[in-house]
Amino acid sequence: MLPAKHRLKKNYQFGYIYKKGKPVPARNLTLIFTAIRGSGLRIGFSVSNKVGKAVVRNLIRRRLRECARALLPRVRPGHHCVVSVRPGITEESFREIARDLEYVFRKAGLLDN
């Protein structure tokens, strides 16, 4: 589970990131991030109704949270991020989702090696 201090929860936080953030696309997900001065890392997940019914959306969200939790020690603080998914993600395995998430963080320049 992603620790509470690393989660985006409020609608205005998501709106700010969608408006001011930079998108980094991958095959089945997009990372939208923005730099926040004097703040730690916060991540939110956006899974639309197009992905599937509630059970499927919650499964995808749980997988994304776990993948993000594993990446936390390597991600540079000072950013707020939203991970938005596309409907094709339902056919991907946990490893493929983890690989795609790591790819977008690396492409955005947010990962420390």
Q: For residue 24, give the CATH number of its domain.
A: 3.30.230.10
**Residue 112 belongs to some domain of the structure:** no
Q: What is the mean pLDDT of residues 4-29?
A: 94
The Cα 29–Cα 39 span in angstroms is 25
Q: What is the mean pLDDT of residues 80-108?
A: 95
Q: Where in the sequence is the domain holding 102, given as residue range(s)?
A: 4-107
| pLDDT digit string, tens, across residues 54-89 | 999 999 999 999 999 999 999 999 999 999 999 999
- Run of H or E residues at 33: strand 29-35
Q: What is the mean pLDDT of residues 17-26?
A: 96
Q: Kindly tell me if the per-residue pLDDT of 2 is higher than 90.
A: no
The Cα 81–Cα 31 span in angstroms is 7
**Residue 14 belongs to some domain of the structure:** yes
**Residue 113 belongs to some domain of the structure:** no
